[in-house]
Structure 1
């Protein structure tokens, strides 16, 4: 049985990650209604490339591209593509991987309103307590780095505050004071009831870069709309192909999430209805609708029959399994590693963490756990030895005590020097003794007065 590991469901989709959605759609299209050949396991490994597929021969395939190549060897739809369709598939795949992540990064992570009210709560429902402090901030940092060249940081309130606090003032002015005053005035103005004007609307963070955002969106939607045209699928096939699944993975996260700043979904619905119909068609045809609470509820199942019964009761159309939960050792290792990285002068130089990190060797992934386990074992062993008396020196055995070196320890010359030192000490003691004797033998003068008949 094939096991597909993905980042958990959100926004009514199989995953909060685009490539994970694409991988689920690909396997569903490949196997159809047969749920006995594969299963989906939600996970949250932030140092592992997601999605990844574990095959029947225990091979692990990381990333959508590797999974697609593996399944294409047995997919009849992919093998029947013409050379023109194959070339179009390669071109569309490259186009999607180049432009779609930028738009998703802006919509779900860079936008402070969307991140605070939609993306972060979705992660909170999926991840264990410790992973919520690691994975979402890393993905947001990667999204900021990916979109920094576009100059749309005005929709990120955190960046706006950082810029205002770090801007330099004129001669004799305190830049921190000016930044604080400007910030205070801005906050105070937001508390005052007033009627919105064209200028005030354009000065809001979500509208400051609206023109540039629409331009970036059009650069992505317009070519993709032209490639689709009036066809049901991108390559004009009767069944979805790998490129259709990849397009669904990105477009679904642009269309379905209910976010406060829904400029991306609004652009799709108002100007590119063909793409909206394509996403909805793929969503309904493959049965990709998912409720996150139903998937998380599978964690209460004990046996395989319980899982199958819960799927049937919840009318799940995908072969979900209980979410993967970390062990105590894995949690302790992850938390310890993150805490060490935050210590000044000990952490490694700052690096940009990609949304899908590079696969690490097996020994490197498990090295922190091995080191932590070894240290804990030694500490517990020492404590047990002290408590039980195993560390007491055996009775009757000679004990070597290492003390300060003496002259006598350095051969004949040392012994001679030691003798000279002893003679000096003996002479000093004799001199002190003679002085004490002289003091005791010296005469004592006593004055005596005689009165009357000679009585003293």
Structure 2
């Protein structure tokens, strides 16, 4: 029995992840429902590579869309969807798949994760509905940070502020911070170019328009002449692996109800063939082939769930989180388990850092406020009366009547008098006459 672990459903789609969607579409068209199960585990840690989608075949794990497709065909578990294709068409499918990952993937990241409005309104609530508490506070932000890193090379960081005119860096900001005496000696540029006149938000919109056009226009051209009602990349087969992968990315451009719907608007207005392709794949390749073989995930053990919480917290720590994430990636790529020397050093460093931070915080809290004078109080010993032995009422009476001192013999010295009566001084004999 095959078990496919994925990120759970969202936006009316079987999964919130593009490669998970593509893998679901492939298995649903290549295998009968009785031979596999679809598990929305929402936990990449179920796979040794810490990646979803992950296929479990009797303990043999494979992660990623292309590796899963190769494993299914090499192990003869199903008839590959690309069997009817020629060698040239298979080469074209591989090239188009690489193009989708390199260009369509960053566009999905820009729409669902980088855009602050789309993230707060649509994407984060979707992840919150999939994850248990308290992972709803830690895991989504980690997923978004990884998506921002993947799309960072596009130079569209302004999307994180959603074209806020007060949030971007303006071209005159450097001159305004200089003193007036310096600014008078700086020559003014009397003639500005079109680029100088544009705000960062306008430049970002133009850049985004160009990226969307370059990616989606190429995909639309590849489908020309392959049917208007049910467009496909190749006519030799109903569904190919390239169709499944393209469906995964294009569906996440079209279906999520995002407030900044620049990708959806482009699909509807500029490339309607791609829009029909998504609807056709969803109707014929997903819902039209019967119900998906959903299976409830096993409840995670307490130790693993606690470890996942600790893992997400460690990844959020400044500086240490980056080293921890790099170490986890290295261990996943090397398929290492258990504790080696590097892991022990990392754990020891984390423990020592935590102890030093805790000690420093406690020492800081114990310090007097800066500039305040140091004051100290010492308890005073008050003489007690015998009335205090009778409880609170006796103490009150003793306070009202004063402290009783026993009379001392005249022969006692001052040290004995101090010991008995608590009075200090010397005994002096005085001859006096009283009239």
- Whether 2:220 is the aligned partner of 1:225: answer yes
Matches of 1:344 and 1:88 in 2, distance apart?
A: 44
- Whether 2:26 is the aligned partner of 1:52: answer no
2:216–2:271 contact (8 Å) kept in structure 1 = yes
1:14–1:288 contact (8 Å) kept in structure 2 = no
1:274–1:364 distance in 2 versus 1, CA, 3 Å: farther
The CA deviation at 1:236 is 1.8
1:5–1:51 contact (8 Å) kept in structure 2 = yes
Say which SS state the counterpart of residue 53 (structure 1) adopts: strand
The CA deviation at 1:148 is 2.2
Matches of 1:241 and 1:354 in 2, distance apart?
A: 34
Matches of 1:118 and 1:159 in 2, distance apart?
A: 18
Q: Which of 26, 33, 36 is the matching residue for 2:34?
A: 36
2:114–2:147 contact (8 Å) kept in structure 1 = yes
**What is residue 245 of structure 1 aligned with on the other side?**
244
1:141–1:353 contact (8 Å) kept in structure 2 = no
- Whether 2:62 is the aligned partner of 1:61: answer yes
1:186-236 deviation per Cα after TM superposition (whole angstroms, max 9, x unaligned): xxxxxxxxxxxxxxxx9796x662221111011111111111112132122
**What is residue 92 of structure 1 aligned with on the other side?**
96
Q: Which of 313, 328, 344 is the matching residue for 2:302?
A: 328
1:365–1:120 distance in 2 versus 1, CA, 3 Å: farther
1:347–1:58 distance in 2 versus 1, CA, 3 Å: closer
- Whether 2:57 is the aligned partner of 1:72: answer no
TM-score (norm 1): 0.61
Say which SS state the counterpart of residue 19 (structure 1) adopts: helix
Matches of 1:76 and 1:343 in 2, distance apart?
A: 44
**What is residue 414 of structure 1 aligned with on the other side?**
none
Matches of 1:102 and 1:210 in 2, distance apart?
A: 16
The CA deviation at 1:44 is 2.1
1:37-93 deviation per Cα after TM superposition (whole angstroms, max 9, x unaligned): 1110011224511101112x4311111011111223431542232112111111111
**What is residue 268 of structure 1 aligned with on the other side?**
267
1:2–1:164 distance in 2 versus 1, CA, 3 Å: same
1:370-419 deviation per Cα after TM superposition (whole angstroms, max 9, x unaligned): x9xxxxxxxxxxxxxxxxxxxxxxxxxxxxxxxxxxxxxxxxxxxxxxxx
1:110–1:52 distance in 2 versus 1, CA, 3 Å: same
1:111–1:347 distance in 2 versus 1, CA, 3 Å: closer
1:303-326 deviation per Cα after TM superposition (whole angstroms, max 9, x unaligned): xxxxxxxxxxxx971111114443
Matches of 1:77 and 1:346 in 2, distance apart?
A: 45
1:263-294 deviation per Cα after TM superposition (whole angstroms, max 9, x unaligned): 101101101111111111111002349xxxxx
Matches of 2:200 and 2:179 in 1, distance apart?
A: 31
**What is residue 5 of structure 1 aligned with on the other side?**
5
1:218–1:90 distance in 2 versus 1, CA, 3 Å: same
Structure 1 segments, 4+ long, off by >3 Å, are 158-165, 202-205, 337-355, 357-360, 364-368
Matches of 1:221 and 1:344 in 2, distance apart?
A: 38
Matches of 1:284 and 1:352 in 2, distance apart?
A: 41
The CA deviation at 1:237 is 2.1
1:141–1:352 contact (8 Å) kept in structure 2 = no
Matches of 2:167 and 2:298 in 1, distance apart?
A: 37
1:173-197 deviation per Cα after TM superposition (whole angstroms, max 9, x unaligned): 9xxxxxxxxxxxxxxxxxxxxxxxx
The CA deviation at 1:365 is 9.4
1:42–1:365 distance in 2 versus 1, CA, 3 Å: farther
The CA deviation at 1:351 is 6.2
Task: Select the structure with the greater relative contact order (CA < 8 A; seq sep ≥ 6).
Answer: 1
TM-score (norm 2): 0.63
**What is residue 23 of structure 2 aligned with on the other side?**
23
Matches of 2:7 and 2:271 in 1, distance apart?
A: 29
Say which SS state the counterpart of residue 82 (structure 2) adopts: helix
1:218-258 deviation per Cα after TM superposition (whole angstroms, max 9, x unaligned): 11111111111121321222320111101111111011111
1:347–1:354 distance in 2 versus 1, CA, 3 Å: closer
- Whether 2:79 is the aligned partner of 1:81: answer no
The CA deviation at 1:5 is 0.3
1:345–1:224 distance in 2 versus 1, CA, 3 Å: closer
The CA deviation at 1:172 is 5.9
